[in-house]
Every structure is written in C-alpha cells, then in structure tokens.
Amino acid sequence: MTSSMTNVLNRSQKKANRPSDEQLAAFGAELDALRERTLSDLGERDARYIRRIVAAVRYTEVIGRGLLFFGLFPPAWIVGTLLLGISKILDNMELGHNVMHGQYDWMNDPHLNGKTFEWDLVGTGDHWRKTHNYSHHTYTNIKGMDEDIGYGVLRLFPEQRWRPFFLGQPIYAIIFALLFQWGVAIQDLRFGKFFNGKKSGKEMLEEMKPFLKKTRRQLVKDYVIFPLLAGPFFVPVILGNLVANGIRNLWTYTIIFCGHFTADVQLFPKSVLKNETRGHWYFRQIRGSSNLTGSKLLHVMSGNLSHQIEHHLFPDIPAHRYAELSVEVRAICQRYGVHYNRGSLVSQFSQVIWRILRYSLPSRYVPINASA
Amino acid sequence: MMASQTLKRIVAPLVDPAVYDFWAQKISPTLSWDRCLARIESRHIEARDTVSLILKPNRQFQGFQPGQHLNVTVEVNGIRLTRSYSPSDTLRSDGRIRLTVKAIPEGRVSRHLVHHSKVGDVLELGAAFGDMTLPKEAAAWLLVAAGSGITPIMSLLQTLLQKPLEQPVALIYWARTRADLCFSEDLHSLTNRDPLLKIHTVLTREDHRLADELGGRPREALFRNLIPDLERRRVYVCGPDGFVTSVRGLLEPHAALFRAESFSPAPVVTRAGAPVTVTLSKSNVSVQVPSGTPLLKALEDSGLKPAYGCRMGICNTCSCQKQTGSTTDTRNGAVQNEPGPVRLCINSANSDLTLEL
Ligand SMILES: Cc1cc2nc3c(=O)[nH]c(=O)nc-3n(C[C@H](O)[C@H](O)[C@H](O)COP(=O)(O)OP(=O)(O)OC[C@H]3O[C@@H](n4cnc5c(N)ncnc54)[C@H](O)[C@@H]3O)c2cc1C
Ligand code: FES
C-alpha cells in the first residue's frame, strides 16, 4: 500500500471512528455539563438578542413591502424584493425555527412561545413541530425514521436503494429547491399513501385542512392584499412577493441540505435506538450533521443552522449561543477523536451537489452498517 | 368605545397581536392589542426598602375593588415573572394605580421593583382577585396589618374614609421599627380626620418606642384592650403567613366576620413520591399523581393522553403552560417555582400543579 492510500484509509476510518462505551459516557457528561453551564447563564442578553431579531424581521418587511409599491422603478423593486426575502429568511430561520424549538420558552413571553409561534411560511407551525422537532431531531439520520433524509424524493446515500426514478433527480432537486416551502409543508401529509390507495380522499382532505387554511392566509396576504394595496401597480408587487418567497426557498434549502447531506455525514440503522445512551445520542447527532464556517452574517442569515452540530446537540439552547459553544464542542470532540464536520458554504454545498448527481446514477446498494 | 370594540372584533382575524403590539409600542410603550400594560409614572420611597409606584395602565385595564390584588408581571434579567401586589390607594379618578412594594432579601421581583425599576418602565397587569372587599352597608371594622400587608388595608381604609364614618373603625398596624412603617404621614393626618377612627401602631423591634406606640406580638390582651367591642367588629387581616395564622387563632372565634389574606411565600414542596394534585385547567380534570415522577408518565399512568414526541426533552411536543406550582427538571434537578412553559417528559411535580392542558 502506498502511503497516500494509507492516509486516505486512515482518514475515513478516523471519521467513522466510534469511541468505546465508557469514552462515550464521559463524552456525554462533558456535553451535558456544557449544556447546564449555558442554560444557567441565559438571561437579559439572550432576550435582547431575540427582540433585535424580531425588530429586524418587522422593519425589513415593512420597508421591503413599502418599496415594492414603487416597484415600477427598478431599483425600488430590486431592493424591496431583497428586503422582503431577507425578512422572510430571518422570520423563518433565526426567529421561527429557533423559537419553535422552545429556545426562548424560559423568557415566558407569550409572543415567543415555542408551542404557539406561527411563521411567515405556508407550512403550519404545528406540522413543523412534528416532522422537524420530533421526527428529525429525535431520529436524526436514522434510515427509515428521519424523513428529512432526501425528503422522500431524493437519493443521497448509497444506503438508499436505486430506482430508475432517481435518474431525474438533478431536475427534481432544482424543482424541490424552488418550491422548498411547499415540499416541507406537505411532508407530513403523505400523499404517497393517498396515491397508492392506503388513505381515502376524505381522510386526506381532513388532514389537509390546517395546511389549506394556512396556505390560503399566506397566498391571500402575498398575492391579493398587498398587490391590491398597490392599486394599479399590483404587478410588480406580485412579482416581488413571488421572487422574495423564491429567494427564501433557495436559501433555506441550501442551508438545510448543507446541514445533513455533505460528504462525510453518516446514516444509522434503527437498531441504534436500542438502549441508546446520552453519549451515543450526542455522538449520532454530531456524526449526522455538518457545520458551515463563515461570517457572522452567514450565521445570522442561516438562523445559526450553520452550527448544525451544536443545534442538534442542544436544540433548545438559544441559537445565537452556538458560535461560542462550537469552540468548546470542537475541543471536546477532538479529545475523544470524534470527527467534527465543518467547511465553507461553497465546499459543503459542492458535496451536496455531488451527492445529488452521484446517487441519481446506479450504485451498489450498501446495507446499512449495524455497528455504526 | 362600543364602536371601537365592534371594529376591533371585525378586524381581529386579520391582526397578529404580536405585530400590532410591536408597531403600536413604537408610538406608546403601553399600547397593546389584548394585554393590559402599565407605565411607571413616578416612584417614591415609602419606608425602609419599600417604594410606592404610581402606574398608568392602558385601556385594557379592568379595574379593581379596594382590598383586592393584581397579578403584576415584570421582566427581570430577560425572564417574565409574575407576583401579586395589592393597590395601596383607593380608586383614583385619573385611573392611576399605586402599588407599594417591599424588597425582601433574595426576592427576584420585589428587589427589581424597589431597587431597579425606573420611571417609564412598563409592567403587565392581570385581572384583580380577592374577597377582602367592602360591602355597601356601614359596619364596625377592625383592620389588622403586618409589614407590607398594610397595602390592601390602606386602600380599604381610605375608601371607608371617603364618607364620614357611621360606625367605629380601627387599624392595628404591626411593623418591625418606625423606619419600616409605610404611609406614616397619611396615617397621621387620617387620625385627626374622623373621631370614630383609631389607629394603633405596634413595633416589634424598636428600641425607643414613643408613648403612643405599642410593642410585642399579637396577643389576646392587646386586642381586648384596644377593641373592647370585638364581637361586633368585622375583621380583615393581611400580612405574612405566620402572622395571619396567629391572628386568626385569636380573633376568628370572637369577631362578627373574619377574613384574611397572607402574602404567602413559594408553594409547599412535598417529599418525592408523596401524592400531589395536578389540575388540567383546559380539560377541567384533576388527578392525583406521585411527586418526583416525570409528569408525562405520571399523567399517562392516570389514564390521560398528553401529546408527546421524543420523551427526552428535545422536541418540545409535550410542552404546556404551568399556571401554578413547583416542578423539578429531572435531568439536572433544577427547581422551577415560576409559572411558564414546562416539558412534561422531563419535569416532575414538587407540589400541587395547575397545567394549561
Ligand atoms: C395576595 C397577595 C398580595 C400581595 N401584595 C403585596 C403588596 O402589596 N406588596 C408587597 O410588597 N408584597 C405583596 N405580596 C407579596 C408579593 O407577591 C411577593 O411574594 C413578594 O414581593 C416577594 O416576591 P419576590 O419575587 O421578590 O421573591 P421570590 O424571588 O419569589 O422569593 C425569594 C425568597 O423569599 C421568600 N418569600 C416569598 N414571598 C415572601 C414574602 N411575601 N415574605 C417573605 N418571604 C417571602 C421565598 O420563599 C424565597 O425564599 C402579596 C402576595 C400575595 C399572595
Ligand atoms: S416529548 Fe419531546 S420534549 Fe417532551
């Protein structure tokens, strides 16, 4: 064997390396201690931060929508659309996503309550709390349980069986990205079951009611009320809303895919759940997630999901704390030889694209590694 | 007023109260769609460690009756905390409310209000509670207060004195030292106002008492001396728990009517395993569960089916609002006595609880 080959081998072995049970117990205890330290420190600073985000959402929305009324003047349209897109991104990510995790429940503020918060998105908060907070966060990267693995339309891992359907995947991926909010919104409705006859039309309609109600509200707001307010200038307003929603869709798609579908992330079989200890659980969260390095702006605009690893370890800690936590988490991982996956947006997203392209083509089916 | 209410009802489905409040509060910090907010208009020192706050509530305020208390919510270090305070003034024509707060050692809300609150700060007010209110008919009264328990009593007294008295009224007011007496000047001027009014102060820790000041704890002889006609008096008492209990023992058997309110401290914490009552306020159900067991499991064992997901404190599915009572986070043993959201799967009861379920 050449030395460079040994290096590659060592590298991939090192990444898949799982510490012993005793080591994982100590590893878990260190992360628990970090968690407690942070929780006991929550206070004014975090409250001020999230209120600043709320203010940013409100101001960008009002200024963005205001500028769109003058949308016949191209610079106003461009800036207005961008600001509205930014407003929706902040609302969905740094505000909505994080508040709905209960990250700010300790403030006891009814407007920032994880159970009741509603966001500017067609998917309902309640639906999200189920698929995302519950299924995805509890069963992160467990094949057959975490429905975020490919969202039921994409094959991103050799552990998923290839079918000719996946040949069209590069195209589905683009459509899915453009319509990301819709894909996420209908994820839990399981249209598949309806189409293959396992669910009646009536049942389907019943389940769709909250979704339809929320969708109507969103569509009326973006495509009827605000355009009407613009009177004769309704066309630029409609277009601006459409593009702003599109910008938000592409951006959230990019960030979320970078969080779990980069080259080195690992899938797990259902069997890991049997007697999974706190340390194992933490380990699985780290190995199933990947971080983005970048500026403060990137972190805020991604709702700090750029710190996907920290988010999965501590989903209920205010996300703006992840940056400082990540320093300690990395040090802990290093001590226990646990691979900590991070890279720039360009490098991580290229790996996502590579997965989308590579696994659209046939590849040997890899049965999932029961010892992972 | 009526028209604006109707208008409000029509537009309500279109309004997000959070967005409305955000913009409205840029105009005036107490404007709100559906919450009663009040601004601190002025503060003055009332006694040692005690301040009075004059509050101006917004239009959501439902009013109170003298003798009642309000739930007051303030944000302390980013956390909204709620405590009861009794307005210490009669109803004012300008709609202002006076609260009088004594800072207690380690007290989170009282120390904030006394030492750190500023003119212009905004508090939230809840509805008024309490049955220590005045009936329409005239009666002979004995009002007994200890410490900050003077607040509702002061409100009652001033309301009684708005008209010339028809029957005797007495106030016996306990404090540690003269420096702890609230409303000294007000009380002094009231004494001369109506011959049927008698005010007595009792100081328990004052080294040099004046001629008209008494000493010692509540005792039968003291009450008998001051109030020979105890049997015809209606008695209202307010003060710390221990004080109220001892006065109750002395006066309740003899007085024409006895009502008391104690400014009781944190809920009683039971030992692990002892049964506590959990009341689910939305479904109107009460069950007995063992304390110390995660609430999700305890409620399921009682045949209830709260929503859940991960059962390990991650997903927030099981979260619900705790209205009263004390809980422990089973992961780290942290005790939480404040109302607020709790995750049922990782919290156990330490006391009787009310959950919004
Ligand atoms: C009906 C009602 C009316 C009240 N009206 C007034 C009022 O008009 N003015 C006023 O100043 N207070 C009033 N109180 C008391 C007030 O609600 C708070 O309990 C008090 O201000 C302490 O709150 P905190 O947050 O500062 O203390 P916390 O942080 O809740 O408690 C700190 C420590 O003090 C103990 N403690 C809590 N409350 C008291 C107390 N009252 N006395 C002694 N120790 C206590 C706790 O057990 C704890 O150990 C009233 C209470 C009730 C129930
Ligand atoms: S069930 Fe998931 S947090 Fe309690």
Are B235 and B346 found together in one domain? no
pLDDT-derived band at A129 (thresholds 50, 70, 90) equals confident
For the segment A107-113, the average pLDDT, to the nearest whole number, is 94
Q: Which residues pair with B100 in a beta bridge?
A: B52
Chain B residue whose CA is closest to A117: B18
Q: pLDDT digit string (tens) for A61-91?
A: 999 999 999 999 999 999 999 999 999 999 9
What's the pLDDT score for residue A18? 85
* Contact call for A105 and B312, based on CB within 8 A: no
**DSSP states of A146-179:** -TTSGGGT---STTSPP-GGGGGHHHHHHHHHHT
What's the pLDDT score for residue B352? 94
Residue B8 lies in a domain: no
Q: In chain B, what are the helix, strand and coil shares in percent, each to the nearest 5?
A: 25, 35, 40
Residue A234 lies in a domain: yes
> B248 is in which domain, residue-wise?
141-262
Pocket test residue of B297, B300, B308, B330 for ligand 2, highest count of atoms within 8 A of CB:
B308
Q: pLDDT digit string (tens) for A218-252?
A: 999 999 999 999 998 999 999 999 999 999 999 99
Residues of B in contact with A54 (CB under 8 A): 22
Domain boundary among B196, B229, B262: B262
Are B120 and B192 found together in one domain? no
With an 8 Å Cβ cutoff, is A114 touching chain B?
A: yes
pLDDT-derived band at B2 (thresholds 50, 70, 90) equals low
Are B233 and B292 found together in one domain? no
Are B305 and B240 found together in one domain? no
For the segment B267-275, the average pLDDT, to the nearest whole number, is 75
Residues of B in contact with A46 (CB under 8 A): 78
pLDDT-derived band at B268 (thresholds 50, 70, 90) equals low
- Given the structure tokens 């769109």, which residue do they identify? A68
Are B155 and B110 found together in one domain? no
Residue A243 CA to residue A237 CA, distance in Å, equals: 10
- Substitution target in A41, A53, A108, A129 with the highest count of B β-carbons within 10 Å is A108
* Contact call for B315 and A129, based on CB within 8 A: yes
| Residue among B316, B331, B340 whose CB faces A101 most closely | B316
**Residues with Cβ within 8 Å of residue A292, at least 6 apart in sequence:** A255, A258, A298, A302, A306, A308, A342, A343, A344, A345, A348
Residue B116 clears pLDDT 80, i.e. is over it: yes
Residue B5 lies in a domain: no
Residue A79 lies in a domain: no
pLDDT-derived band at B4 (thresholds 50, 70, 90) equals confident
Helix/strand/coil (H, E, C) string of B289-353? EECCCEHHHHHHHCCCCCCCCCCCCCCCCCEEEEEECCEEECCCCCEECCCEEEEHHHEEECCCE
Spell B291-330 as b/e; 16+ CB within 10 A means b.
Answer: bbbbbbbbbeeeebebebbbbebbbbbbbbbbeebbbbbb
pLDDT-derived band at B56 (thresholds 50, 70, 90) equals very high
What's the pLDDT score for residue A5? 40
Task: Look up the ipTM and state it.
Answer: 0.87
Question: How far A115 CA lies from chain B's nearest CA (Å)?
Answer: 7
Residue B209 lies in a domain: yes
Are B255 and B306 found together in one domain? no
Question: How far B136 CA lies from chain A's nearest CA (Å)?
Answer: 39
Residue A343 lies in a domain: yes
Residue B175 lies in a domain: yes
Residue A104 CA to residue B258 CA, distance in Å, equals: 45
Domain boundary among B207, B229, B262: B262
Number of domains in chain B: 3
The token pair at B156 is 């009652």
Residue B9 clears pLDDT 50, i.e. is over it: yes
Residue B301 lies in a domain: yes
Residue B75 CA to residue B83 CA, distance in Å, equals: 11
Residue B145 lies in a domain: yes
With an 8 Å Cβ cutoff, is A115 touching chain B?
A: yes
Are B309 and B199 found together in one domain? no
Residue A99 lies in a domain: no
Residue B347 clears pLDDT 90, i.e. is over it: yes
Q: B340, B305, B296: which is closest to B322 by C-alpha?
A: B340
Number of domains in chain A: 1
CATH number at residue B150: 3.40.50.80
DSSP structural state of residue A107: G
Residue B287 clears pLDDT 90, i.e. is over it: yes
What's the pLDDT score for residue A188? 75
CA of A254 to the centre of ligand 2 (A): 28
Residue A158 lies in a domain: yes
Residue A20 clears pLDDT 60, i.e. is over it: yes
Q: A262, A99, A161, A208: which is closest to B341 by C-alpha?
A: A99
Q: Across the A/B interface, how many CB contacts are shorter than 8 Å?
A: 84
Question: How far B188 CA lies from chain A's nearest CA (Å)?
Answer: 43
Residue A134 CA to residue A32 CA, distance in Å, equals: 20
Residue A356 CA to residue A172 CA, distance in Å, equals: 10
Q: Are B257 and B234 in contact (CB under 8 A)?
A: yes
Residue A4 lies in a domain: no
Ligand whose nearest atom lies closest to the CA of B130: 1
With an 8 Å Cβ cutoff, is B313 touching chain A?
A: yes
| Residue among A43, A105, A138 whose CB faces B310 most closely | A138
With an 8 Å Cβ cutoff, is B158 touching chain A?
A: no
Are B238 and B319 found together in one domain? no
Provide the percentage of residues in chain B whose pLDDT is more than 90. 86
Pocket test residue of B297, B310, B342 for ligand 2, highest count of atoms within 8 A of CB:
B310
CB atoms under 10 Å from CB of A210, counted, come to 14
CB atoms under 10 Å from CB of B29, counted, come to 14
For the segment A347-370, the average pLDDT, to the nearest whole number, is 91
Are B287 and B330 found together in one domain? yes
* Contact call for B315 and A137, based on CB within 8 A: yes
> A295 is in which domain, residue-wise?
18-50+120-358
* Contact call for A114 and B319, based on CB within 8 A: yes
Q: Are A315 and A133 in contact (CB under 8 A)?
A: yes
Residue A229 lies in a domain: yes
What's the pLDDT score for residue B323? 93
Are B115 and B155 found together in one domain? no
CA end-to-end distance (rounded Å), chain A: 26
pLDDT-derived band at A363 (thresholds 50, 70, 90) equals very high
Provide the percentage of residues in chain A whose pLDDT is more than 70. 95
Residue A3 clears pLDDT 50, i.e. is over it: no
Across A117-121, A296-300, B253-257, least confident range:
A117-121
Residue A264 backbone dihedrals phi, psi, to 5 degrees: -90, -5
Residues of A in contact with B339 (CB under 8 A): 108
Residue A10 clears pLDDT 80, i.e. is over it: no
pTM confidence score: 0.90
Q: B120, B4, B118, B100: which is closest to B47 by C-alpha?
A: B100
Nearest atom of ligand 2 to the alpha carbon of A138 = 2
Residue A48 clears pLDDT 70, i.e. is over it: yes
Q: Which residues pair with B141 in a beta bridge?
A: B169, B234
Pocket test residue of B345, B347, B348 for ligand 2, highest count of atoms within 8 A of CB:
B345
Residue A6 lies in a domain: no
pLDDT-derived band at A11 (thresholds 50, 70, 90) equals very low
Q: Which residues pair with B37 in a beta bridge?
A: B124
Ligand whose nearest atom lies closest to the CA of A102: 2
Are B255 and B147 found together in one domain? yes
Chain A residue whose CA is closest to B19: A58
* Contact call for A111 and B18, based on CB within 8 A: yes
CATH number at residue B330: 3.10.20.30
Residue B4 CA to residue A56 CA, distance in Å, equals: 31
Q: A19, A8, A10, A13: which is closest to A286 by C-alpha?
A: A19
- Substitution target in B20, B317, B335, B345 with the highest count of A β-carbons within 10 Å is B317
Q: pLDDT digit string (tens) for B289-344?
A: 999 999 999 999 999 999 998 899 988 889 999 999 999 999 888 999 999 999 99
Q: pLDDT digit string (tens) for B57-99?
A: 999 999 999 999 999 999 999 999 999 999 999 989 999 999 9
Q: pLDDT digit string (tens) for A131-176?
A: 899 999 999 999 989 988 988 889 999 999 999 999 999 999 999 9
Domain boundary among B125, B152, B186: B125
CATH number at residue B58: 2.40.30.10
Which phi-psi region, left, alpha or beta, contains residue B78 (left: φ > 0; alpha: ψ -120 to 50)? Answer: left
